[in-house]
Every structure is written in C-alpha cells, then in structure tokens.
Amino acid sequence: MGYTQDLESLFGLTSVTYKANLSKDELFDAAIAGDKGRIREGGPDDEQKAYATKLGKQGPLVYYTDPSCTGRPVKDTFGVAWPELEEKIWWKNDFQKFDPAKFQGLLKRVGEHLNNKKATLYVKEVYCGSDPEYAVPFRFVGEYATHAMFVHNMFPKGIPGVANEDGKRWTLLNVPSYHADPDVDGTLSQRAVILDMKQRIILVVGRADYCGVNKKGMFTIMNYLVPEQGHMSMHCSANVGPRGDGAILFGLSGTGKTTLSADPDRKLVGDDETAWTESGISNLEDGCYAKLIDLNKEAEPVIAAALSMPGTLIENVPAPKGKRMEEMDPQDLDLTDDSITENTRFSYPLDCNPNVAEGSKGPHPETIVLLTADAFGVLPPVSILDSKEVMYHFVMGFTSKLAGTEVGITEPVAAFSACFGAPFMSHKPSVYAEGLAKKMEKHGGRCILLNTGWGGGPYGIGKRISIKDTRALLNAALAGELHKDGAEYEVHPIFNLKMPKACPGVDSKVLNPRNSWQDKAAYDQAAEKLRDLFRKTFQDKGFAQLGIEPVM
C-alpha cells in the first residue's frame, strides 16, 4: 500500500479513506451512488452527477459537469514558476505563472480540507505513454469515481519495462469540493488547474470537473518531459497502412483529424496524442475522447457502436424532456442537443475500435499531414511543403472558425494555435518545430498541407471541399504520388505554396483555388487578406526571434 505513504508525504493526507484500483463496474456503481455536485446553474452542490441508461452496467455511464466547466478552464490553468524552470517553460494566457510559495500553502490547505471532511478518494494507477522508452507512471487521486473511470479508459495500464517507476511517478489530485479563495490561495477564481513540473504534481480544485482536465493536464506534462528526452510529443492522430507505412495528422478541432485517421484500410495508432521516438510512433493514451455533438453515426460507426458498450462514458448529453436517463437506450439519445454545451463528449477505450495497431505503435511516419479548414476559401486543397515551410506552418497552426450562430454572420475568423495545440505545449514552439524538422530529415518524411475547408468562395458562398476529394488527395499523399519524380507543380503567387497540377481521382481544376472562384479579383483580395493575417500573427508571436523563417 505504498500510495498511502506517498500521499501523506505529498499532501498531508492522514484521515481519508482510499478506494484504490476498483474495477470499472465498481466505479460505475460508486459514481452513481456517490458523485455529488452542481449540475445546473443556480443548483445545489449535492445533486447526483452520474447516471445509468436502461442498459445499466452493460452500457455507458452518463456524467454531468458543473455548468461553468463544460470544457477546459484555460484561464484558470497554471504552472508553478520554480526559478530553475522558469526560463524553459512557454508562459502564455492559457498557461500562466503560479507562485511556488502560494502553491505550497494551497497544497497544505487542500490536504487539511480533505482530512477535516474525512473524504473518500478514488485512486487509479495507470501510465502515460504506451512505450516504456518514455512512459511515466501516473496516479490519479480524486473525489469522483467518474474521473477514476475516465482515467482508466484514457490511459495505458501495466506498461512493462519502465525503469525507476517511483522516481518518475506523477500524481494528480482532483478536489472539486475545495473552492479556492483568490486572496489566500493566489488563484484567479475559486477553481484552478496547477501543474508543478518540479514536484510532479497536478492539482485540480473547485468547479473544474470536466473530464478532459484529467487528460490534457497530463498531456501538457508529457509535452514537457518527452522533448527533454530527445523525442517528439505531438497533438496529432496517427495510423499505419498495409505497406507498414506510418502517417501522422496534425489539426485543430473541426479540421478532420479524427475522421481522416479512422481509415478502414489503415490501422489506428491513436487519434489525439502521439510520441515520435527513435523506435517510431506510439500513442500516449489508451482511449479516445470524441466530440458527440451532431455525430453522424453512418460516418462514425466506431463511436456510434461504442455508445452502447460497457465501460464507456458520456459527458453532458441530456435525456430528452420528460424522460429519465435510466429509461433511455444510448442509441436514442439526441446527439444534436446542445442545451448543456456544444462540447458534448464521449470517452471510450481504444479497443472499441476494431482496427487498432498492435501495442498502439507504428513505424516512423512516411507522411506528415498538416490539416487546416480554411473558411475563407482561398488556400489550395493540397500543398507540398519543404522543411522550412513545415516549420513555419507547424508553428502557425492555422485553421478558421465561423464567427458565430447569429443569422447573417458568415464572415470567417482566423484561428492560429502554435504546433496545433498551443495550450498544451509547455516548451517554446521552436522546440517542437525543430524536433519535427529533425525527425523528418532523419527518417525521410514528406509533408503536405491539406485544406478541408471551402472552395469557390468563403463560407456562405462557396462549398466545403468534398470528403471524396479530400480522401483522394490524402490517399495520393500517403502513396507518395504527390512527391514522386516527374510530378508537376505550380507555385501560388500570394501564399508561395507549391500546388500539384494533377492528382489521381481529383479534377485538376480544383487544385488551384483561384480557378474555382468566378470573381478572380475577389479571390486575390481575399487571399491577400489571409496572407496578411499570417504575416501579422507571425510578427506578433515573435516567431522570427525563435529561429523560424517566414515563407509567406
């Protein structure tokens, strides 16, 4: 029972009850019986938070977060600014400095709070990383059985060959019942997610009970640890083809990262968090955490089937009005219902997917795909990138989102997120860009920028590039067709991007986006506007000072 001594040493816990490494069935029952908190605005703090469907333990657990935390609380996420680490970490608005002395005081008060209430805490012992070369032991300790079940779904269990486990272990303490006092605790509000790179602690307090906090906190840690070992940690999906050819796909929400990596002809390594070591690529996780809103069950059959499987976890999908969740078949839930949040979620084990690569590992990727969904309608459907362009577009991390849901508002908004996951990147962006360029150079990777957005005009005027064309472009890239000797290209005069003149299965007219616009002058104006946004963002972020060359 080594964890009791560890937790007393770390947090001063002496009068709590532990329920360690329960089965998912046991956690299912415990969550329904014991997870209490606020689930509606103005509601009490003692409502039931977890429910069964009519399938009982043969189906999913349904969980409701605090209504103020239906996604990651980025403005309340911090790193402890120990002097010896301060210069290495990439501080930003969604990862701010936290005073070490304040953190030590807060840890002590949280421990006293748990002792005073004689809390029951659920413990889960897992790992982060499927390869012992970089994997670290990860111990979850928290008040909610639901969170322990989520951690069981999302992280690998029993990774053999990890050396010096006790010296590498990370501990996440999740205490929703402790509401922080900013004046005393040094937080910005009553909640906080605080990462301590020195003491290997993640502390979550207050109304921050969104399940993804337990996943992304540890991903942020791995993005610090893995590059320190000379490897790459990446916010990307990965798969392996029948030739044993690996591929990785970077992309922000809405660009097709999960959809395009789920290919019946290729084995899935992972859909979100991947490492690239000297051995190849491997998954940091053992599960998937998918968005459920507007799920197309025909297009996403794996997720649809997993909705009815035991041990899975549905987050923030309400029962239809007048119905009790206990009466519902999971397949009858309204997945278009965004009355709680647009960010409805679903956690399920990786093995719910029938086509997973053995050990969640693969070879060095032959193909690197940077995904973007350009709602301005001006970027080429596919572009061939050299090493300098890879670094540039990787640190820019461009996509676009629609300006809102009000009638008549159709103007796209540019979104830039460095390394396609800026909030989780603990080192400065150049660390990851240089790491990616070195890996590609050493292992011969080729790279494309794949646009899954609009053509013929911006959103509201043009049309979304068809999934058929996107798949054909991706398949050609995976087969090496776009990079083969003799392939012909033209260079975009505004974006300086190299566009193939032909691709199997795709009308060559669409490969140059200007061709699909009726008003060529309007195209040029829109393209120049986006190019200028790229240039301004590059300058504002200071990427040139980090050694990234401007290519646009």
Residues 31 and 85 in one domain: yes
> Is position 332 annotated as part of the catalytic site?
no
Residue in 49, 235, 266, 446 annotated catalytic = 235
What token pair was written down for 109?
């008060």
Express each pLDDT in 157-196 by its tens digit. Answer: 999 999 888 899 999 999 999 999 999 999 999 999 999 9
Residue in 200, 266, 345, 361 annotated catalytic = 345
Per-chain mean pLDDT for the chain = 94
In order, the DSSP letters of 73-95 are -GGGEEEE--TTTTTTB--BTTB
Here the CATH number for the domain that contains residue 258 is 3.90.228.20
Residue in 38, 49, 152, 216 annotated catalytic = 216
Residues 220 and 309 in one domain: no
Residue 299 near residue 49 (C-beta atoms within 8 A):
no
> Is position 4 annotated as part of the catalytic site?
no
The per-residue b/e assignment along 313-346, b for 16 or more CB within 10 angstroms, e otherwise, is: bbbbbbbeeeeebeebebeebebebbebbebbbb
Q: Is residue 317 part of a domain?
A: yes
Three-state DSSP class for residue 383: strand
Residues 312 and 268 in one domain: no
Residues 133 and 164 in one domain: yes
Residues 137 and 199 in one domain: yes
> Is position 72 annotated as part of the catalytic site?
yes
Q: Is residue 63 part of a domain?
A: no
Residue in 24, 38, 49, 72 annotated catalytic = 72
Residue in 77, 187, 233, 258 annotated catalytic = 258
Q: Rounded mean pLDDT of 52-75?
A: 96
Residues 505 and 385 in one domain: yes
Residues 305 and 435 in one domain: no
Boundary residue ending a domain (213, 228, 243)? 228
Q: Helix axis angle, 212-228 relative to 145-154, nearest 10°? A: 40
Strand 136-142 relative to strand 120-128, pairing: antiparallel
Residue in 253, 336, 339, 508 annotated catalytic = 253
Residues 246 and 207 in one domain: no
d(CA 17, CA 30): 14
Domain membership of residue 221 as a residue range: 2-53+71-228
Here the CATH number for the domain that contains residue 92 is 3.40.449.10
Q: Is residue 315 part of a domain?
A: yes
Strand order in the sheet with 96-98: 17-20, 120-128, 136-142, 170-175, 201-205, 192-196, 77-80, 96-98
Q: Is residue 332 part of a domain?
A: yes
d(CA 294, CA 216): 23
Express each pLDDT in 216-229 by its tens digit. Answer: 999 999 999 999 99
Residues 41 and 158 in one domain: yes
Predicted pLDDT of residue 522: 97
Boundary residue ending a domain (321, 352, 383)? 352
> Is position 146 annotated as part of the catalytic site?
no
Q: What is the amino acid identity at position 462?
A: G
Q: Is residue 359 part of a domain?
A: no
Residues 75 and 212 in one domain: yes
d(CA 79, CA 357): 34
Predicted pLDDT of residue 251: 92
| CA angle, residues 175, 68, 402, in degrees to nearest 5 | 130
Q: CB-hemisphere CA count at 13 Å for 8? A: 10
> Is position 541 annotated as part of the catalytic site?
no
Express each pLDDT in 471-512 by its tens digit. Answer: 999 999 999 999 999 999 999 999 999 999 999 999 999 999
Q: How confident is the model at residue 402 (pLDDT cuts 50, 70, 90)?
A: low
Checking if the pLDDT of 268 tops 60, the result is yes
Q: Is residue 64 part of a domain?
A: no
d(CA 62, CA 55): 12
> Is position 443 annotated as part of the catalytic site?
no
What token pair was written down for 111?
């421990």
Residues 262 and 156 in one domain: no
Contacts of 52 (CB under 8 A, 6+ apart): 28, 32, 59, 61, 62, 325, 326
* C-alpha of 204 from chain center: 18
Q: Is residue 18 part of a domain?
A: yes
What token pair was written down for 206?
């207050």
> Is position 15 annotated as part of the catalytic site?
no
More confident residue, 491 or 264: 491
Q: Is residue 391 part of a domain?
A: yes
Boundary residue ending a domain (228, 253, 268)? 228
Residues 39 and 91 in one domain: yes
Measured in degrees and rounded to the nearest 5, phi and psi for residue 252 equal -85, 175
Checking if the pLDDT of 303 tops 70, the result is yes
Predicted pLDDT of residue 409: 40
Number of domains in the chain: 3
Whose structure tokens read 């992304």?
216
Checking if the pLDDT of 411 tops 80, the result is no
> Is position 253 annotated as part of the catalytic site?
yes
